C-alpha cells in the first residue's frame, strides 16, 4: 500500500476492495496527488483555508460503470466520508479540490458514448467523455455538440454540466446546461436517478436543472443525454472594428434585440495594446439562407454603429485558433502535479485575475465605468474587456505589478509586505465582484463558485441560500457530497 493511504479508515478501504475491481482503486501517491487540485491557482484563492484543501486524497476511484459509482457513494455514506467528483480537473474555481480525507471519484473511466440518434438529435454520453471526443463521435453521424469551450480538448461532459460552462458558440446553442435533455445521477445516498430523454415535459419540475451547475454537491452525474445539432450547411466569418467599446456594445445589443444569433459573438478590447482596437468577431452558421441573412443584417447594424468591416480573415483565424489555450494547457500543465502548475504565478507576472460577470444589459456600460474608477484608484490595470456570447455576459482581465520588497528589510517584513500587496489586489477583485452583485447581476457566469468564490456566496444567494441548504440537506443528510463547495 502506498504511503499516506494508511490513514484511511481500514474498514472503508476493505469494503471498497470488496465492492470494486482492484484496478479501479488507485492508492499510488502520484495517482492521488494528480487529483489534489484543478485549474484554480492557490494565489487566486486567498480566502480559502489552504491547510484544509489541496490535500492529497486518501484514495482515488476510477469507476467504469454507474453501479461502481453507486457502490462507492453508498459506502462513503455509511462511513460518513467525503466524496469529490473529479472530471477533467480544468475547473478554475477549485470545485474539484479535495480535502485530505476524501475519496476522489474520477469519472474519466466512464468514457463511453452510449448512443447517438440523428433522428432524436440526442447523444447519451457518460460523464467522463472528453468534449472533443464526444464531438468527434457525433460528427460521424453528421452532427455536432453545441458546447464548445476553450477547454474542449480536456473538459468532460460531467464537469461541464456541473459548472454550466459557456463556450464559443453559446450565443446560438446555449450553455452546457442548455444542452441537457436527461441525466443519470448517483445521489449522495447511493441511489441512481434517471430522467426521460425528451426535450420538454410538463409533468412536474425539472430534476435535471437541480444538478446543472451544482458542482457535484448534490450528486454525481454518471451520464447525460445531450442535444446535438446537424452540422451546419454553411459557416461564414466576419469582423468589425469599432471606435469605442460603447459603440460595439450597442451593435451587439441591437443584434440580440432583433433576434440575430451568430454562433460566435465576441467583442473584445485590449486597452494596453499598441493600436488598441475594439473588435467584434462573428461566425454565422446554419442553413444557407439563414447564414446569408444574418451576415447581411449584422453588417448593416455594425456599420450603422460606426464599425469598420475588417473582412473575414481575422474571424477565420480566431475560429482556427479557438482551442489553442486548451491544447496548451493539456500539453504543458496537465502532466504536472497540481501543486507544480502555479509555480510561475500569473502568466504576465505580478497579480492577475479574470472576472466573468452576468449583468442586466442595461447596466453593462455603467458597470464598466464604475469598474474603471475602482481600478484606477487602486492602481490596477484592466488588460481586457469582453462581451462573450451575449450583451449581458461581460468579462474583464485585471492585473497589477507586485510590490518589490526591499531586501534590506529582511525576511519577515518583506514577506508581510508581499502578503499585504496580494490581499489588497484580491480586495479590488472582490470589490468588482460585489459591484456586479449590487447592480443586480451575478459574480460569475460560467465557472461556478467552488472554493474561490465561496466567501461571496451568501451575498450572491441572499435569503435563497437557506433554500439551497435545505435541498442539500434533504439529498445529502451527512454532507458527504463535495462538502464546502457551492457556498453551501
Ligand X SMILES: Cc1cc2nc3c(=O)[nH]c(=O)nc-3n(C[C@H](O)[C@H](O)[C@H](O)COP(=O)(O)OP(=O)(O)OC[C@H]3O[C@@H](n4cnc5c(N)ncnc54)[C@H](O)[C@@H]3O)c2cc1C
User: Shortest gap between Cβ of 89 and ligand X (angstroms)?
Assistant: 5
Mark residues 135-174: x for contact with ligand X by CB under 6 A, - for none. Answer: --------------xxx---xx-xxx-xx-xxx-------
91 binds ligand X (CB under 6 A): yes
Q: 169 or 305: whose CB is closer to ligand X?
A: 169
Q: How far apart are CA 230 and CA 232, in angstroms?
A: 6
84 binds ligand X (CB under 6 A): yes
Closest by CA position to 56, among listed 12, 100, 119: 100
Q: How many residues bind ligand X (CB under 6 A)?
A: 39
Q: 88 or 307: whose CB is closer to ligand X?
A: 88
72 binds ligand X (CB under 6 A): no
User: Shortest gap between Cβ of 324 and ligand X (angstroms)?
Assistant: 9
- Among residues 42, 89, 352, 391, which is the contact residue for ligand X, using CB under 6 A? 89
Cα-to-chain-centroid distance, residue 483: 18
User: Shortest gap between Cβ of 164 and ligand X (angstroms)?
Assistant: 8
User: Shortest gap between Cβ of 481 and ligand X (angstroms)?
Assistant: 9
Which parts of 224-306 fold into alpha helices (H)? 245-258, 288-304
Q: Any bridge partners for residue 266, and if so which?
A: 281, 388
What lies within 8 Å, CB to CB, of 198 at 6+ separation is: 181, 182
- Among residues 216, 248, 338, 441, which is the contact residue for ligand X, using CB under 6 A? 216
The C-alpha angle with vertex 50 and arms to 101 and 345, in degrees rounded to 5, equals 125
Please give the C-alpha separations between residue 193 and each of 42, 70, 82, 156, 289, in angstroms, as whole numbers. Answer: 35, 11, 20, 20, 42
Stretch that binds ligand X, among 81-89, 225-233, 234-242, 280-288 (CB under 6 A): 81-89
Q: 154 or 247: whose CB is closer to ligand X?
A: 154
Q: 86 or 256: whose CB is closer to ligand X?
A: 86
- Among residues 329, 367, 385, 425, which is the contact residue for ligand X, using CB under 6 A? 329
Mark residues 406-445: x for contact with ligand X by CB under 6 A, - for none. Answer: ----------------------------------------
Concatenated DSSP letters of 132-147: HHHHHHHHTTTEEES-
Q: 42 or 89: whose CB is closer to ligand X?
A: 89
Shortest Cβ contact with ligand X: which residue? Answer: 159
> HSE of 448 in the Cβ direction (CA atoms, 13 Å)?
31
Q: How far apart are CA 473 and CA 488, in angstroms?
A: 10
Length of the chain: 488
> HSE of 180 in the Cβ direction (CA atoms, 13 Å)?
31
State the cell numbers at 73.
457513494
Stretch that binds ligand X, among 86-94, 276-284, 406-414, 467-475 (CB under 6 A): 86-94
Mark residues 96-135: x for contact with ligand X by CB under 6 A, - for none. Answer: x----------x-------------------x--------
38 binds ligand X (CB under 6 A): yes
Stretch that binds ligand X, among 29-37, 202-210, 324-332, 343-351 (CB under 6 A): 324-332
Closest by CA position to 129, among listed 109, 115, 99: 109
85 binds ligand X (CB under 6 A): yes
Scanning the structure block, which residue is given the C-alpha cell 430523454?
197
- Among residues 64, 68, 90, 283, which is the contact residue for ligand X, using CB under 6 A? 90
Stretch that binds ligand X, among 214-222, 249-257, 389-397, 431-439 (CB under 6 A): 214-222
Concatenated DSSP letters of 144-166: EES---TTTTT-BHHHHHHHT--
What lies within 8 Å, CB to CB, of 376 at 6+ separation is: none
CB atoms within 10 A of CB 89: 24
Stretch that binds ligand X, among 92-100, 264-272, 296-304, 422-430 (CB under 6 A): 92-100
Closest by CA position to 125, among listed 71, 73, 161: 161
Q: Which residues bind ligand X (CB under 6 A)?
A: 38-39, 84-92, 95-96, 107, 127, 149-151, 155-156, 158-160, 162-163, 165-167, 215-216, 220-221, 325-326, 329, 446-447, 482, 485
Amino acid at each position: 500500500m502506498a504511503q499516506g493511504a494508511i490513514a484511511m479508515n481500514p474498514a472503508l478501504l476493505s469494503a471498497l476492495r470488496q465492492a470494486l475491481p482492484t484496478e479501479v482503486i488507485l492508492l499510488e501517491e502520484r495517482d492521488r496527488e494528480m487529483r489534489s487540485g484543478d485549474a484554480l491557482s492557490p494565489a487566486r484563492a486567498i480566502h480559502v483555508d489552504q491547510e484544509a484543501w489541496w490535500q492529497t486524497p486518501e484514495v482515488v476511484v476510477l469507476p467504469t460503470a454507474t453501479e461502481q459509482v453507486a457502490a462507492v457513494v453508498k459506502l462513503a455514506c455509511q462511513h460518513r466520508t467525503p466524496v469529490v467528483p473529479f472530471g477533467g480537473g480544468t475547473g478554475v474555481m477549485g470545485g474539484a479540490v479535495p480535502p485530505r480525507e476524501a475519496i476522489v471519484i474520477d469519472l474519466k473511466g466512464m468514457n463511453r458514448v452510449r448512443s447517438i440518434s440523428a433522428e432524436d438529435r440526442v447523444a447519451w454520453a457518460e460523464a467522463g467523455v472528453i468534449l472533443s471526443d464526444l464531438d468527434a463521435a457525433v460528427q460521424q453521424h453528421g452532427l455536432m455538440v453545441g458546447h464548445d469551450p476553450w477547454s474542449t480538448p480536456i473538459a468532460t461532459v460531467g464537469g461541464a454540466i456541473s459548472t454550466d460552462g459557456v463556450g464559443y458558440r453559446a450565443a446560438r446553442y446555449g450553455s452546457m446546461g442548455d444542452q441537457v435533455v436527461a441525466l443519470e445521477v448517483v445521489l449522495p445516498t447511493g441511489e441512481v436517478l434517471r430522467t426521460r430523454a425528451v426535450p420538454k415535459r410538463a409533468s412536474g419540475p425539472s430534476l435535471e436543472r437541480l444538478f446543472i451547475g451544482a458542482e457535484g454537491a448534490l450528486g454525481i452525474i454518471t451520464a447525460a443525454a445531450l442535444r446535438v445539432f446537424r452540422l451546419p450547411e454553411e459557416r461564414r466569418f466576419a469582423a468589425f472594428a469599432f471606435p469605442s467599446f460603447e459603440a460595439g456594445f450597442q451593435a451587439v445589443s441591437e443584434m440580440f434585440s432583433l433576434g440575430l444569433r451568430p454562433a460566435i459573438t465576441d467583442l473584445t478590447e485590449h486597452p494596453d495594446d499598441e493600436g488598441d482596437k475594439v473588435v467584434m468577431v462573428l461566425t454565422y452558421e446554419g442553413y444557407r439562407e439563414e447564414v446569408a441573412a444574418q451576415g447581411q443584417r449584422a453588417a448593416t447594424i455594425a456599420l450603422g454603429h460606426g464599425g469598420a468591416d475588417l473582412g473575414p480573415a481575422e474571424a477565420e483565424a480566431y475560429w482556427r485558433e479557438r482551442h489553442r489555450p486548451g491544447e496548451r494547457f493539456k500539453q504543458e500543465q496537465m502532466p504536472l502535479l497540481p501543486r507544480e502548475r502555479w509555480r510561475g504565478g500569473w502568466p504576465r507576472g505580478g497579480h492577475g485575475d479574470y472576472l466573468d460577470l452576468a449583468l442586466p444589459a442595461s447596466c453593462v456600460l455603467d458597470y464598466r465605468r464604475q469598474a474603471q474608477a475602482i481600478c484606477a484608484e487602486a492602481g490596477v490595470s484592466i488588460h481586457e474587456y469582453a462581451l462573450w456570447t451575449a450583451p449581458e455576459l461581460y468579462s474583464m482581465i485585471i492585473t497589477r505589478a507586485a510590490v518589490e520588497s526591499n531586501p534590506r528589510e529582511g525576511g519577515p517584513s518583506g514577506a508581510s509586505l508581499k502578503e499585504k500587496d496580494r490581499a489588497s489586489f484580491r480586495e479590488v477583485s472582490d470589490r468588482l465582484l460585489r459591484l456586479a452583485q449590487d447592480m443586480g447581476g451575478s459574480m460569475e457566469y460560467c465557472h461556478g463558485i467552488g472554493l474561490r468564490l465561496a466567501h461571496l456566496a451568501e451575498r450572491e444567494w441572499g435569503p435563497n441560500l437557506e433554500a439551497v441548504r435545505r435541498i442539500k440537506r434533504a439529498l445529502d443528510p451527512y454532507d458527504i457530497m463535495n462538502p464546502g463547495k457551492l457556498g453551501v
